[in-house]
Each structure stands twice: as structure tokens, then as C-alpha cells.
Amino acid sequence: MIERTLHCLGPHGFYRMAYADWGEGQGRTLLCVHGLTRNGRDFDPLAAALEAEMRVVCPDMPGRGRSDWLDRPEDYAYPTYLGACASLLARLGAESVDWVGTSMGGIIGMFLAALPGTPIRRLVLNDIGAMVAAPGLERLKTYVGADPAFADAAALEAELRRIAAPFGPLTDAQWRHLARISTRHRPDGSLGWAYDPHIGDALRQGGEARDVDLWAQWDAIKVPVLVIRGAQSDILRHEDAVAMTERGPRARLVELPGIGHAPALMAPDQIALIRDFLRG
């Protein structure tokens, strides 16, 4: 794995976007795009498992991980993210790509896959879909954008285990990995989350959360889609996921018991689901 950076143009100037590049030159290209508060290193286990078959590229969206924070909070929005991904696609130079998107990363993938001339060949949506349920958004509002300070790595990991419990059953080593990549060092020597707290501003605006309707984008998608749903998800309801198998690209749906929003994609069976679908 090689860590790289790319200069992208946002609404108010350039910023630097980081990405992890696995298996360069190994045939097809796969982009893995993370959720709202996460970063590209979430996909380390998936990328390590697939790098022998394909080039796997895992960006940190602006304001997350090693990427620059944006000067204006209002720029943390899908037009910025779509522009960043378009720049990355141009950098990679692939005629077509496969896409794995968790939550926010899946919405970005849906937007791109719905466009004429899309380079996306196959799309994997991890616990996200054509309707984003309000109860899940309300839950996210309880912690996204908070900027707590942790005295040490153990305290940060403990809080991560609490708020990310819906990711599913993980080993201690997997939790330590997620905690390590979720950490930034604050000027006072304490630890904080590895994202700009302002990414939560838009989520908290407008009062009580409402369902987000993305059916127009869904119905415009023409490529094969795999939907992975945590059976206890409060973001992607079962009935909405089933409806996604009946219209638009008529997705294949797999529901994972005992998991909420969103499956961590670290377990061998979850990785095998994605590998088999991408082999197509």
C-alpha cells in the first residue's frame, strides 16, 4: 500500500486529498469510499484481500483522515465530494472502475453511477440506498460534529466501541485498528477524532431529520448493484432495501444478521461477498 495525495479544486480553493493505493497495475480498479466520519483506511482488510486481483484505491474525503480540512463548513457537501472523486478518477486514468461505498460513500457512488457515461462498472452499496431513514440520521446527530478530547488511546477506543457498536462483532485487533486510524493528535497533547467537527454542521441544520429520497438517482442506475444491509440498520430499512431489488437496476440484496449501520467489511464472509460480486 502506498499513501498518495492529490490536489482537488473545491468551491473556495484547492485542497489536498489523501488516498491509499493498493496493488497498482493489477488489472481492474476498485474505489472504496467511506462513511460520514470515517476514512479510507477502514478498507485496509478488504484492500489487502483484493490487491492481488485489482488495484484498490481508498480516498479520505476532505475533512477526514489525512486529507485537508476545508476553510468553509458549507463546502462539506456532495458537490464537493463528487468533484473530488472526479479528480481522483482522472488521476487514476482507468476507463472503468468498480465502486464500494459505505453510507456516504455509497451515496456518492449512486450519484456517479446515475450519470450518463458513468465509468462505474459494478457498484456495491454498504448499508445505504434509495431512501435514507430519518431515525438513523437522528442517531448520527447525537455524536457527529462533537469534538471530545481523550486522555489516551484506550479512552478513545472505548468511545469508538460504544458509538460504532452497530458495525458488528469485531475482534480486539480490529477495534484497535479502527481506533488507530480514527485518531488525531490535538495541540494540547490529547487525542481527538480524525475528522473536522464541521462535517456535522449540515446534519444538524433544519431541525428534526427527515427521510432522504434518492429514488430518482436509483432508477437512473444501469449497472449491476450489490446491496449489503445490516439486518438491524436504522439507515436502510428492510422494506426500502427490498424495493431496490424490484426497480431501477434491481439490486442483489444480502442482509447480515446481528449488525446495524454499517457492516465493517472486515469479516471474511463480508469480503467474500464483495469479491464474488466484483468477479461477476
How do residues 7-54 score in pLDDT, each as one tens digit?
A: 999 999 999 999 999 986 568 999 999 999 999 999 999 999 999 999
Total structural domains within the chain: 1
Please report which confidence band the pLDDT of residue 218 belongs to, taking 50, 70 and 90 as the band edges.
very high
pLDDT of 66 over the 80 cut: yes
pLDDT of 202 over the 90 cut: no
Give mean pLDDT, residues 188-214: 92
Output the pLDDT for position 266: 98
Give mean pLDDT, residues 88-107: 97
Output the pLDDT for position 280: 87
Lowest-pLDDT range, 42-46, 149-153, 206-210? 206-210
Residues ≥6 apart with Cβ < 8 Å to 163: 143
- Residue 6 is given by DSSP the state E
Sign of CA dihedral 216, 219, 225, 226: positive
Output the pLDDT for position 25: 59
Residue keyed to cell 477495534: 175
Specify the higher pLDDT residue, 154 or 202: 154
Give mean pLDDT, residues 139-160: 95
Residues ≥6 apart with Cβ < 8 Å to 169: 258, 259
pLDDT of 256 over the 70 cut: yes
Give mean pLDDT, residues 208-236: 97
Give mean pLDDT, residues 221-248: 98
pLDDT of 122 over the 70 cut: yes
Give mean pLDDT, residues 64-68: 98
Q: Yes or no: say if 24 and 15 are a contact pair by the CB < 8 Å rule.
A: no
Output the pLDDT for position 98: 98
Give mean pLDDT, residues 148-161: 98
pLDDT of 186 over the 80 cut: yes
Query: Domain range for residue 113?
Result: 2-279
Output the pLDDT for position 243: 98
pLDDT tens by residue, 54-64: 999 999 999 99
Give mean pLDDT, residues 219-246: 98
Q: What is the mean pLDDT of the chain?
A: 96
Give mean pLDDT, residues 212-229: 98
CATH number at residue 103: 3.40.50.1820
**Helices 172-181/153-163 angle, 10° precision:** 110
Other beta carbons less than 10 A from residue 32's beta carbon: 29
Give mean pLDDT, residues 164-190: 97
Output the pLDDT for position 209: 87
Output the pLDDT for position 271: 98
Collapsing DSSP to helix, strand or coil, 261 comes out as coil
pLDDT of 160 over the 70 cut: yes
Of 171, 153, 195, residue with least CA distance to 64: 195
d(CA 227, CA 242): 10
Please tell me the total number of residues recorded for the chain in this structure: 280
d(CA 184, CA 53): 32
